[in-house]
Amino acid sequence: MLLYFLYISLYFLYISKIFVKYLTILYEYNNIKVYRFNIIGGFMADETKRERFVRIAEARTNKILDMMRLLGNCSSKSNYDYTEEDVRQIFNALEKELRNTKSLFLGEEAKEEKFKLKGGKR
Protein backbone atom coordinates (compact mmCIF):
# COMPACT_ATOMS: atom_id res chain seq x y z
CA MET A 1 0.00 0.00 0.00
CA LEU A 2 2.80 2.39 0.90
CA LEU A 3 4.59 1.59 -2.35
CA TYR A 4 1.40 2.31 -4.30
CA PHE A 5 0.98 5.65 -2.49
CA LEU A 6 4.60 6.53 -3.26
CA TYR A 7 4.12 5.63 -6.92
CA ILE A 8 0.97 7.79 -7.19
CA SER A 9 2.72 10.68 -5.41
CA LEU A 10 5.69 10.55 -7.78
CA TYR A 11 3.35 10.36 -10.77
CA PHE A 12 1.48 13.49 -9.66
CA LEU A 13 4.76 15.27 -8.99
CA TYR A 14 5.88 14.43 -12.53
CA ILE A 15 2.57 15.60 -14.02
CA SER A 16 2.66 18.82 -11.98
CA LYS A 17 6.16 19.60 -13.33
CA ILE A 18 4.81 19.24 -16.84
CA PHE A 19 1.87 21.54 -16.07
CA VAL A 20 4.09 24.17 -14.41
CA LYS A 21 5.80 24.54 -17.78
CA TYR A 22 2.49 25.79 -19.16
CA LEU A 23 1.49 28.02 -16.25
CA THR A 24 1.87 31.72 -16.78
CA ILE A 25 1.21 34.48 -14.31
CA LEU A 26 -2.01 36.18 -15.33
CA TYR A 27 -1.57 38.99 -12.85
CA GLU A 28 -0.22 39.68 -9.38
CA TYR A 29 -2.13 41.60 -6.75
CA ASN A 30 -0.94 42.10 -3.16
CA ASN A 31 1.70 39.39 -3.60
CA ILE A 32 -0.94 36.91 -4.76
CA LYS A 33 -0.12 35.48 -8.15
CA VAL A 34 -2.98 34.36 -10.36
CA TYR A 35 -1.98 31.82 -13.00
CA ARG A 36 -3.61 30.64 -16.19
CA PHE A 37 -2.95 27.42 -18.01
CA ASN A 38 -1.24 27.72 -21.37
CA ILE A 39 -1.26 24.83 -23.80
CA ILE A 40 -1.66 26.29 -27.31
CA GLY A 41 1.54 26.78 -29.30
CA GLY A 42 3.77 27.82 -26.42
CA PHE A 43 1.90 31.01 -25.62
CA MET A 44 -1.55 31.94 -24.42
CA ALA A 45 -4.17 32.05 -27.14
CA ASP A 46 -5.57 35.27 -25.72
CA GLU A 47 -2.15 36.84 -25.10
CA THR A 48 -1.55 39.92 -27.23
CA LYS A 49 1.72 40.59 -29.05
CA ARG A 50 2.44 43.36 -26.52
CA GLU A 51 1.84 41.07 -23.53
CA ARG A 52 4.07 38.40 -25.08
CA PHE A 53 6.80 40.98 -25.75
CA VAL A 54 6.68 42.32 -22.20
CA ARG A 55 6.76 38.81 -20.71
CA ILE A 56 9.67 37.61 -22.82
CA ALA A 57 11.67 40.87 -22.83
CA GLU A 58 11.49 41.15 -19.04
CA ALA A 59 12.63 37.55 -18.56
CA ARG A 60 15.50 37.85 -21.04
CA THR A 61 16.63 41.22 -19.70
CA ASN A 62 16.69 39.85 -16.16
CA LYS A 63 18.75 36.86 -17.34
CA ILE A 64 21.25 39.22 -18.96
CA LEU A 65 21.46 41.37 -15.82
CA ASP A 66 22.04 38.26 -13.70
CA MET A 67 24.82 37.11 -16.05
CA MET A 68 26.44 40.55 -15.89
CA ARG A 69 26.41 40.33 -12.10
CA LEU A 70 28.09 36.91 -12.38
CA LEU A 71 30.71 38.43 -14.68
CA GLY A 72 31.29 41.06 -11.99
CA ASN A 73 32.27 38.23 -9.65
CA CYS A 74 35.34 37.73 -11.85
CA SER A 75 36.64 41.11 -10.64
CA SER A 76 37.89 39.56 -7.40
CA LYS A 77 41.67 39.98 -7.52
CA SER A 78 42.04 37.41 -4.75
CA ASN A 79 40.51 34.72 -6.98
CA TYR A 80 41.48 35.81 -10.51
CA ASP A 81 44.42 37.31 -12.35
CA TYR A 82 43.56 39.68 -15.19
CA THR A 83 45.01 42.72 -16.91
CA GLU A 84 43.55 46.09 -17.77
CA GLU A 85 43.63 44.94 -21.41
CA ASP A 86 41.42 41.96 -20.50
CA VAL A 87 38.92 44.27 -18.85
CA ARG A 88 38.99 46.62 -21.84
CA GLN A 89 38.32 43.72 -24.25
CA ILE A 90 35.44 42.41 -22.14
CA PHE A 91 33.70 45.76 -21.92
CA ASN A 92 34.33 46.58 -25.58
CA ALA A 93 32.62 43.30 -26.50
CA LEU A 94 29.68 43.99 -24.15
CA GLU A 95 29.25 47.55 -25.41
CA LYS A 96 29.46 46.42 -29.04
CA GLU A 97 26.78 43.75 -28.51
CA LEU A 98 24.59 46.27 -26.70
CA ARG A 99 24.87 48.60 -29.70
CA ASN A 100 24.09 45.71 -32.09
CA THR A 101 21.01 44.71 -30.10
CA LYS A 102 19.79 48.28 -29.95
CA SER A 103 20.23 48.62 -33.71
CA LEU A 104 17.98 45.58 -34.21
CA PHE A 105 15.22 47.40 -32.33
CA LEU A 106 15.80 50.42 -34.57
CA GLY A 107 15.36 48.24 -37.66
CA GLU A 108 19.02 48.15 -38.64
CA GLU A 109 21.16 45.13 -39.41
CA ALA A 110 23.58 43.75 -36.82
CA LYS A 111 26.42 41.23 -36.99
CA GLU A 112 26.88 38.41 -34.44
CA GLU A 113 30.36 37.62 -33.14
CA LYS A 114 31.70 35.30 -30.44
CA PHE A 115 33.94 36.80 -27.76
CA LYS A 116 37.42 35.51 -27.04
CA LEU A 117 40.15 37.21 -25.02
CA LYS A 118 43.17 37.94 -27.18
CA GLY A 119 46.67 37.30 -25.88
CA GLY A 120 45.60 35.25 -22.88
CA LYS A 121 47.04 31.89 -21.83
CA ARG A 122 44.68 28.99 -21.17
Domain count, the chain: 3
Span 82-114, pLDDT tens digits: 999 999 999 999 999 999 999 999 988 877 778
What is the average pLDDT value for the chain, to the nearest integer?
77
pTM of structure: 0.57
| Residues 3 and 28 placed together within one structural domain of the fold | yes
**What is the pLDDT at residue 43?**
47
Range of the domain at 33: 1-39
Q: Which helix (H) or strand (E) holds 83?
A: none
C-alpha angle 68/71/77, rounded to 5°?
A: 145
CA distances to 36, 43, 55, 81 from 61, in Å: 23, 19, 10, 29
Reported confidence tier of residue 73, pLDDT bands at 50, 70, 90: very high
- Would residue 28 count as lying in a domain? yes
- Would residue 122 count as lying in a domain? no
- Taking 70 as the threshold, does the pLDDT of residue 10 lie above it? no
| Residues 33 and 54 placed together within one structural domain of the fold | no
Rg over CA atoms, the chain: 22
- Would residue 29 count as lying in a domain? yes
Contacts of 34 (CB under 8 A, 6+ apart): 25, 26, 27, 28
Span 35-50, pLDDT tens digits: 555 554 454 556 788 8
